[in-house]
Structure 1
Amino acid sequence: MTVPTQLPSAPMDPGLAGLLDQAAAQGNPPLESLPPAVGRQIYRDMAAGLGLPPPAVATEDRSIPGPGGPLKLRIYHPDVSGTLPALLYVHGGGFVIGDLETHDAVCRTLCHDVAAVVVAVEYRLAPEHPFPAAVEDVVCVLQWLATHTRELRADPSRIALAGDSAGAQLAAVACLHTAGTITPCALGLIYPPAQHPSEPSASMAENGEGKFLTRGVMQWFIDSYLGGRSELARHPDFALLSAPTLAPLPPSWVATMGHDPLRDEGHVLAQRIEQAGV
């Protein structure tokens, strides 16, 4: 599927440009040339180096039964009384890197600023656990959350999902999998991937080299996640633009970034969601 250019790119934010320069100055080898464990540690170090001051909120680490074994959760509780909305946040990292620690500051900020109970999940990563392991884990946690709202002091009618990058894709797929049994009130998709990186798009051509998320990194992510199975490239649980319908999604907010290779497919995804009547 060819995705046309949807939006012109504005100049890069100076703060973001500085972070990219700082990452380049560290001289790390390309992620795709490293063992997954090393790439994961580099990502943790990068997240810690952002220096985001996380708000002080109460947290609880918990383990629940999952499809492939215990799943680690981190639950964030705001210092607010009453029954609160609940947010399942799914971290990004190309299905290969990322964990509870890389997105801890993000989840703390959401918990504090939104005044919601935030549940973060450490789903299984590829290549050790290829597709559809991550999908199964996120669906499992959404089902768990829907049946444990009372325990978490959360409102079952105000369950939302959000995620960044691969986490956004997983959050959307979890909503589609549970349609008819769980009715989230909202879905937040932050620069979601929506198709295989081999599909042409202008933003991929413009931004696929020289920044953190390069063509090589994306190909490594997808090869690891799909296990080299080309027949999965347009599977609806992987490529949202190949889903037969997006109508079951809850009201959705989609954020795309001007200098992101995923920009155009994210914009088309937002259009498809709107056209589906969401």
Structure 2
Amino acid sequence: MTTTSIPAVLETAPLDPALAGFLAQAAAQGNPPLETLPPPVARQIYRDLAAGLGLPAPGIVSASDRTIDGPAGPLPLRVYRPGVAQGELPLLLYVHGGGYVIGDLETHDKVCRTLCHEVAAVVVAVDYRLAPEHPFPAAIDDVTRALRWVAAHARELGADPSRIAVAGDSAGAQLCATAALRVRESIPVCAVGLIYPVAQHFSEPSPSMAENGEGKFLTTGVMKWFIDAYLGGRSELARHPDFALLHSTSLASLPPTWVATMGHDPLRDEGHALAQRIAQAGVATEHRHYPGAIHACIHFTAVSPVGNQIMVDLAAWLRVQLSRATA
């Protein structure tokens, strides 16, 4: 497989008009910044937002909850299966975003149902521990444990253990890529899908942070809150390879990787740099840029179609990668 040419300069475009209207309406409401709220309140706001701004997910997908033994106690999972599929299916471990502080099985239920339907795969979502109650490395330890468990129990889930992929958005993208690197010698992960990934955050300021750090949903204030909570105030961890993917020396060990960046996202430049770095390491890399989109737009499918398009594009790529695993 050849590596997609990744442009040195990303395409620019005005903010999607529907997303611009949504952001203006949100600003007019005058709600307190998320980082000023107690974590349980912020988490409920995120659940409500994801439920209210997303289109209904495909109804033919079934879901069931279960719990496995995690590194520090019970670890909840949610297993999705497409209703019309037969035989052993590919398996996708999905890791939710939310800055390591918010997000759970409910915030990403529609996302997982959509991917389950579009990929025609068993999808397993992991409800990893959140900061500040559980700082680094709790989240990555949980995600790694979940990946090892699904690989060992794929057939029990009706899936093919030789066709496993991982994907996630934002912080979840960083976690799933890191987990894939952690298990690279024991589990043959076929593909990694990264939607607006966290790759370094504040360790190296970027133009997109300055351009998009206010007024476009993900702000510099909430990002600082997320990272301070997750790293427990330990600034020396900001370049740890299990947190900052751009400082990893193991990117060449990734399987084929798909990276999506948004034009009006503070994380745009680090996601772009990550795609370039992975490709330069010799990994087959597909980079998709959505110039009019913002961070978290996969939740806003009732506002703009771009979020759903991102999931459809990722699913199409995953189908190809997972079909190659059987060739």
Distance 1:45 1:24, change over 3 A: farther
CA distance in 2, matches of 1:276, 1:171: 18
* 1:7 to 2:5 alignment: no
Gaps of 5+ in 2: 1-7, 284-327
Single out whichever of 62-71 and 192-201 deviates more from structure 2.
192-201
Q: Deviations over 1:44-80 (max 9, x none)?
A: 1111111311111111100101011101110001121
- Residue 20 (structure 1) shift: 2.2
**The one of 49, 53, 57 aligned to 1:54:** 57
Gaps of 5+ in 1: none
Query: Aligned pairs, how many?
Result: 274
The 8 Å contact of residues 90 and 121 in structure 2, kept in 1 or not, is answered as: yes
The 8 Å contact of residues 192 and 257 in structure 2, kept in 1 or not, is answered as: yes
When the two structures are superposed, what TM-score results if normalisation uses the length of structure 1?
A: 0.96
Tell me what 1:216 maps to.
Answer: 221
The 8 Å contact of residues 89 and 161 in structure 1, kept in 2 or not, is answered as: yes
- Residue 13 (structure 1) shift: 1.2
Tell me what 1:160 maps to.
Answer: 165
**The one of 70, 73, 83 aligned to 2:74:** 70
CA distance in 1, matches of 2:254, 2:266: 24
Q: Give me the CA root mean square deviation.
A: 1.2
Q: Deviations over 1:140-190 (max 9, x none)?
A: 000000001111111111100000000000000001111110111110000
CA distance in 2, matches of 1:21, 1:65: 44
The 8 Å contact of residues 181 and 250 in structure 2, kept in 1 or not, is answered as: no
**The one of 23, 30, 34 aligned to 1:27:** 30
1:171-210 to structure 2, matched below 5 A, reads: 171-210=176-215
Three-state SS of the structure 1 residue aligned to 2:130 is coil
Distance 1:25 1:75, change over 3 A: farther
Three-state SS of the structure 2 residue aligned to 1:163 is strand
- Residue 198 (structure 1) shift: 4.3
Tell me what 1:92 maps to.
Answer: 97
Q: In structure 2, give the amino acid aligned to 1:11.
A: P
Identity of aligned residues (%): 75
The 8 Å contact of residues 195 and 239 in structure 1, kept in 2 or not, is answered as: yes
1:99-138 to structure 2, matched below 5 A, reads: 99-138=104-143
